Amino acid sequence: MSSEIERKEKKFIVQFMIHIAMFLAVLGLSVVLNETNDLSIYSTGFLAMSPVVPIIFLLRLAINHYRSLDEYIQSVMGESLLWAVGVVGCAAMAYGLLAEMVEVPTFSPAFMLPAIAVISGIAQVIQLKDDAHEE
């Protein structure tokens, strides 16, 4: 049973890395094409949005993987995601309110998804360590 789980995890990691590589390739290609060509606003908009397509497929992969996990890990991942979205959401709201009152540097919302992923991973590690200490 354990070897089948390890095989599924390795397959997920490989597919995950392929999706990330596709994202980086599309991102790089879109930047190069935008910088080297005088494109219409519609073409530029399409190029700007094109890296989202591999991320949508990555999201589908992650959801399918999540559904294949046991209830305990789903619970850990669900709570860590709630923490991450809450922390990033509160920070974004605080930054937005601050920006209404004082001059602050602009911040791209494109960094919110990576921030959620990192904070979610940190929250998972903390939860799993806490659960291991309780046993």
Tens-digit pLDDT profile for residues 31-77: 999 999 888 999 999 999 999 999 999 999 999 999 999 999 999 99
> Do 58 and 75 have their domain in common?
no
Separation between Cα atoms, residue 32 and residue 40, nearest integer Å? 15
62 and 74 belong to one structural domain: no
Cβ atoms 66, 77 nearer than 8 A: yes
- CA dist 56 and 75 (Å) reads 23
Residue 5 and residue 52 in one domain: yes
Final residue in a domain of this structure, among 29, 48, 68: 68
User: What's the confidence (pLDDT) of residue 133?
Assistant: 73
pLDDT at 130: 82
pLDDT value for 107? 84
| pTM given for the model | 0.76
Asked if 1 and 42 sit in the same domain, the reply is yes
Segments forming the whole domain that contains residue 3: 1-68
pLDDT at res. 93? 95
Residue that finishes a domain, picked among 41, 68, 95: 68
The dihedral region occupied by 82, where left means phi > 0, alpha psi between -120 and 50, and beta the remainder, is alpha
Could you give the number of structural domains in the chain? 2
Both 59 and 79 in one domain: the answer is no
Q: Is the dihedral of CA 42, 58, 111, 26 positive or negative?
A: negative
Torsion-angle region of 66 (φ positive above 0: left; ψ -120 to 50: alpha; else: beta): alpha
Phi, psi (degrees; rounded to nearest 5) at 105: -65, 150
